[in-house]
Each structure stands twice: as C-alpha cells, then as structure tokens.
C-alpha cells in the first residue's frame, strides 16, 4: 500500500514537472515569435479553466493506469513490476536529467532551460506513447500470456453463461409461481368475484352498503395475495358483471372503493 502511494505521488510530481516544461516551451515559442507578454497572459487567462479540466481528466486516467490491480502479473510480467512502474512514472524526471546532461557547456540560461524542457518532452513522449504500448503488446504476444488470457476469457465466458442461466431459471420459477398463484386464486376468488359483480350493479340507495362490502372483499383479497390478488379479483368481477349483463359499458367503482387498501391506489384520481 505504501509503495502504491509512493508511485502515485511520484507520478503526480512528474506530471506537474511535465506540464511546467510544456508551458515553458510554449512560452518560449511565443516570445521568439514576438508575442507580447500581455497577449500571452490574456490567452492563458481565458484558457485556464479548460486547461485545469484537461489536467484533472488526465491525472484521473493516469492514476487509474498506475493501479496494478487492472493487470495480471502472469500476462504482463514486465509492466506490473515495481521497477517498471517507477521507470514509467519517472520518465519526465529522467528526461529532465538527460536534458541537463545534454546542455553541459551551454552558458545561457534560456538555452539550458529549453534543453531541459525538450529533453523532458521527448523522453516522456518516447516512454508513455511508444515504449509502454509496445512493451504491453510484446507481453500479450508471449505464449504464456496468450494461453492464460485465452483461459481467463473462456472462464469468464462460462461464468457469464452460468449467470444468464441462473437468471433465466429464476425468471422461469417466478413466472411458474405467479401462474400457480393465479390458478389457486381463481378457485378461491370465484365467490368473491360473483358477489363483487353484483355490488357493481347496486343502485344509489344501497351504494354505501355496497362500498363497505366491496371494501371487505378487497381487504380479504389483499390478505390472501396482495396487490396481484386484488387485481385478479377486480378483473374477474368486471368480467363476470359483463357476462351477466351482456353490457360492455360498466362503471368501475372498484378502483375507488379499494383506494388505500394495502398498496392499491385509484389511478383514475391521478
């Protein structure tokens, strides 16, 4: 854990150094082109937020890349080692050292700093963009890495297929249980449905009594099987009422009578 933190800290410092070198190269290029300081500061001021967001995203991606848990040692025998990770994250500093060595004998400070910055840029680009991807590709081409990767992918595919089969089996069991409940409720709710169908045809004089009796039937259905059982009883009652009256225009009082029983809600009130 301490090694991981040290590598992350080193990577952060090297990234900051790399960004400073890029900024110095850009600043030098602007000055050599004759751009005045106030123009440079204006451009940097407008782009400060954009550069900050880019740096944040870049550091987030880099920190994820430093996490060795994303790689398997047997498939990447080189790039997951501590020595390689230190070499990878310290590439900007190594480039700066190479630039210092290359500028030995230079007397002007500006040329010396430019050499250090260019050495940092060149080395970082070489290591991060060329060396690291090539090393990872060569690791994946090794016979042992290829065999382990093929085995790992095959095992993952088998596990994925097993999970899919378990989900399908669970869904089939749920559907079978729901069908069994419907068949069991069909027999138990038939008397309730016939009585509820009669209550739907009650005139206005006995409407309050019909509402009380329908409420009791709804409570019984809720206790028997919850919301699904109540829906089935309602559908059976309406179907029975239409069958007895031979009339398709039936007012559905049940939805309002049962409003508030369990989780039943009258959708027509929404």
Does 164 fall in a domain? no
248 secondary structure, DSSP code: S
In this structure, the answer to whether residues 208 and 107 fall within a common structural domain is no
Rounded CA gap, 92 and 99, in Å?
A: 10
Does 29 fall in a domain? yes
In this structure, the answer to whether residues 14 and 126 fall within a common structural domain is yes
**Residue 124 class from Cβ within 10 Å (0-12 exposed, 13-18 middle, 19+ buried)?**
buried
Pinpoint the alpha helices (H) of 143-206: 143-200
Residue with tokens 């991060």: 128
Does 161 fall in a domain? no
What range does the domain containing 67 cover?
2-141
Rounded CA gap, 91 and 96, in Å?
A: 9
Q: Which is higher by pLDDT, 38 or 180?
A: 180
- Per-residue pLDDT for 148 more than 60? yes
In this structure, the answer to whether residues 16 and 68 fall within a common structural domain is yes
Q: What pTM does this model have?
A: 0.51
Mean pLDDT of 118-126: 88
pLDDT of residue 40: 45
202 secondary structure, DSSP code: -
Number of domains the chain contains = 2
Cα angle for residues 122, 126, 127 (degrees, 5° grid): 120
Token pair belonging to 246: 């031979």
The gap between the terminal CA atoms of the chain, to the nearest Å, is 56
Q: Which is higher by pLDDT, 202 or 57?
A: 202
Rounded CA gap, 210 and 235, in Å?
A: 18
Distances 2 to 7, 92, 97, 247 between C-alpha atoms, Å: 9, 22, 26, 80
Identify the H or E element spanning 237. Answer: helix 207-245
pLDDT, one tens digit per residue, over 63-116 is: 555 554 556 677 778 888 888 888 888 888 999 999 888 888 877 888 888 888
Rounded CA gap, 75 and 53, in Å?
A: 34
Query: 237-251 burial, b for 16+ CB within 10 Å, e for fewer?
Result: bbebbeeeeeeeeee
pLDDT of residue 199: 86
pLDDT band at 163 (very low <50, low <70, confident <90, very high): very high
Does 66 fall in a domain? yes
pLDDT band at 183 (very low <50, low <70, confident <90, very high): confident
Which of 141, 170, 189 delimits the end of a domain? Answer: 141
Sorted by sequence, the CB contacts under 8 Å of residue 80 that are 6+ apart come out as 68, 71, 72, 73
Token pair belonging to 263: 């989780």
- Per-residue pLDDT for 238 more than 80? yes
Q: Which is higher by pLDDT, 166 or 245?
A: 166
């Amino acid at each position: 854990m301490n090694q991981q933190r040290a590598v992350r800290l080193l990577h952060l410092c090297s990234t900051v150094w790399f960004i400073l070198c890029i900024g110095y190269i850009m600043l030098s290029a602007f000055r050599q082109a004759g751009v005045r300081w106030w123009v440079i500061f204006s451009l940097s001021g407008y782009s400060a937020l954009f550069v900050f967001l880019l740096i944040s995203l870049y550091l987030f991606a880099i920190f994820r890349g430093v996490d060795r848990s994303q790689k398997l040692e047997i498939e990447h025998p080189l790039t997951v080692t501590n020595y390689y990770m230190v070499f990878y994250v310290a590439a900007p500093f190594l480039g700066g050292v190479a630039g210092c060595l290359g500028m030995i004998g230079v007397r002007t400070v500006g040329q010396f700093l430019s050499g250090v910055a260019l050495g940092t840029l060149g080395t970082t680009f070489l290591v991060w963009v060329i060396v690291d991807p090539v090393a990872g590709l060569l690791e994946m081409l090794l016979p042992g890495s290829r065999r382990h990767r093929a085995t790992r992918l095959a095992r993952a595919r088998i596990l994925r297929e097993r999970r899919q089969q378990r989900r399908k089996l669970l869904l089939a069991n749920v559907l079978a249980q729901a069908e069994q409940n419907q068949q069991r409720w069909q027999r138990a709710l038939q008397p309730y449905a016939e009585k509820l169908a009669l209550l739907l045809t009650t005139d206005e004089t006995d409407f309050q009594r019909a509402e009380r009796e329908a409420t009791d039937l709804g409570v019984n259905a809720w206790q028997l099987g919850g919301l699904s059982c109540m829906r089935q009883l309602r559908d059976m009652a309406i179907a029975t009422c239409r069958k007895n009256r031979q009339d398709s225009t039936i007012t559905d009082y049940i939805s309002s009578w049962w409003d508030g029983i369990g989780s039943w809600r009258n959708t027509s009130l929404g």
